[in-house]
Amino acid sequence: MSDNSKKLKELRQEIDRIDDSILELLNNRAKLAIEIGSIKKEGNHAIYVPEREREIYQRLLNNNPGPFPNNAVKNVFREIMSTSISLEKTFKIAFLGPKATFTHMACLQHFGMSAELIPAKEIADVFDEVERDRVDYGVVPIENTTEGAVSHTLDMFVSSNLKISAEIMLEISLALLNRTGSISDVKKVYSHPHAIAECREWLKNNLPNAALIETSSTAVAAQTVVDDHDAAAIASEKSAELYDLKIVERKIEDHLNNFTRFLVIGKTSPKKTGNDKTSILFSVKDSPGILFRMLKPFAERGINLTKIESRPQKKKAWEYIFFLDVDGHISDKKVSDALKEMEGFCSFMKILGSYPKGEK
């Protein structure tokens, strides 16, 4: 045996020993998770604790000496924690479906593969599943960096009592898919209106004569073209894998730095992590300069506003509800003081929750 072959054999044996140690440690961790689950059940504590997950990730990433990259550390421990939660109880998540939508991908990114992911047809159905306790949490889109707010989600928060428990940032990469893999076969293109808008320049330059047909989701678009040789779908690459389609072109979005923000909705709010966001719904009593006075309490306290979005009131013409995101947690004194001062100018105000900021 050559020196190289001998060295290779020794290194592989060492990897086997390390793998055996990892397996033993994983099972030890699983036993502790089961014990923690029993304690949580007896005390009626929440199984999913976003602030605890953030703490685990942060500690691991801070302590990682490499060369194993931080993003891989997070992915590995995402699945470890996902499996640990599933050992504590069956963990159900409703999402805007069907499978292979970007909301589905956001669920996998955040909750891992061991959660039971249940597709819903509409955003309202996701809220309903959580409100009726058929699932533990729901995941819905709230905004895209290119196309802006998802109005249906904003509207649902007006009437719902659900809270925001976490947010998920997912990079969006769109592909053109069809049966043959050839662009010359494409006479019509199906997709969600946001996805079509995000690829408008590419479509104009490459498929100027194709009919553009809107669907309820990118995954529905992929399903639609399975039996149509003249059609293509704008969807995720995962849709190609799931629905046995071929990729005509990857990354056809007009803006490459394209992210969608998703919200995890439930009935509880996480505790402070130190890197949090608070979301509020409010409407104002109409008077000159009222919006300036509404936002002044935050400016005076140095609180950063990361989003403000308006939606028309459905019950009164020319009156609006505002959706506001601010940096900080409701337990922060300056945040709570600003909200108390702001409430005096409101005809309606609802705190949707404080939760850990999502990471790109």
Question: Is the predicted pLDDT of residue 292 greater than 70, yes or no?
Answer: yes
Multiple choice CATH, 175-249, 1.10.645.10, 3.40.190.10, 3.40.1410.10, 3.20.20.70: 3.40.190.10
Which is the catalytic residue, given 146, 153, 218, 260?
A: 260
Q: Where does 114-258 show beta strands of DSSP type E?
A: 116-120, 137-144, 148-149, 163-171, 175-178, 188-191, 211-214, 231-235, 246-249
Peptide bond into 98 cis (omega under 30): yes
Looking at residue 27, what is its pLDDT?
93
Tell me the pLDDT of the chain averaged across its residues: 89
pTM of the model: 0.83
Looking at residue 212, what is its pLDDT?
95
Which is the catalytic residue, given 111, 157, 262, 282?
A: 262
Query: How confident is the model over 123-140, as pLDDT tens digits?
Result: 999 999 999 999 999 999
Work out the average pLDDT over 215-244: 90
Cα–Cα dist 323/283, whole Å: 9
Query: How confident is the model over 29-52, as pLDDT tens digits?
Result: 999 988 888 888 887 777 788 888
Query: How confident is the model over 233-257, as pLDDT tens digits?
Result: 999 988 998 899 999 999 999 887 7
The kind and range of the H/E element at 106 are helix 102-111
Cα–Cα dist 182/166, whole Å: 41
Looking at residue 167, what is its pLDDT?
93
Q: How sure is the predictor about 188, in pLDDT bands with cuts at 50, 70 and 90? A: very high
Question: Is the predicted pLDDT of residue 316 greater than 80, yes or no?
Answer: no
Task: Kindly report the length of the chain.
Answer: 360
**Fold agreement (3-88, 175-249):** no
Please give the CATH number for the structural domain made up of 92-171+259-264: 3.40.190.10
Residue 34, token pair as written in the block: 């089961």
Based on the residue annotation, tell me whether 345 is a catalytic residue of this protein: no
Q: How sure is the predictor about 1, in pLDDT bands with cuts at 50, 70 and 90? A: low
Other beta carbons within 10 Å of 81 = 20
Lowest-confidence region among 3-12, 15-24, 274-283 = 3-12
Residue 66, token pair as written in the block: 């490499």
Q: Give the rounded percent of residues in the chain with a pLDDT score beyond 90.
A: 52
Cα–Cα dist 239/177, whole Å: 8
Question: Is the predicted pLDDT of residue 263 greater than 90, yes or no?
Answer: yes
Q: Which CATH architecture has domain 270-356?
A: 2-Layer Sandwich (3.30)
Based on the residue annotation, tell me whether 262 is a catalytic residue of this protein: yes
Other beta carbons within 10 Å of 221 = 27
Query: How confident is the model over 147-177, as pLDDT tens digits?
Result: 677 888 988 998 899 999 999 999 888 999 9
Please report, for the chain, the start and end positions of each structural domain, with discontinuous segments joined by +: 3-88, 92-171+259-264, 175-249, 270-356
Looking at residue 317, what is its pLDDT?
57
Please give the CATH number for the structural domain made up of 3-88: 1.20.59.10
> The sheet that has 305-312: what strands, in order across it?
305-312, 320-327, 276-284, 346-356
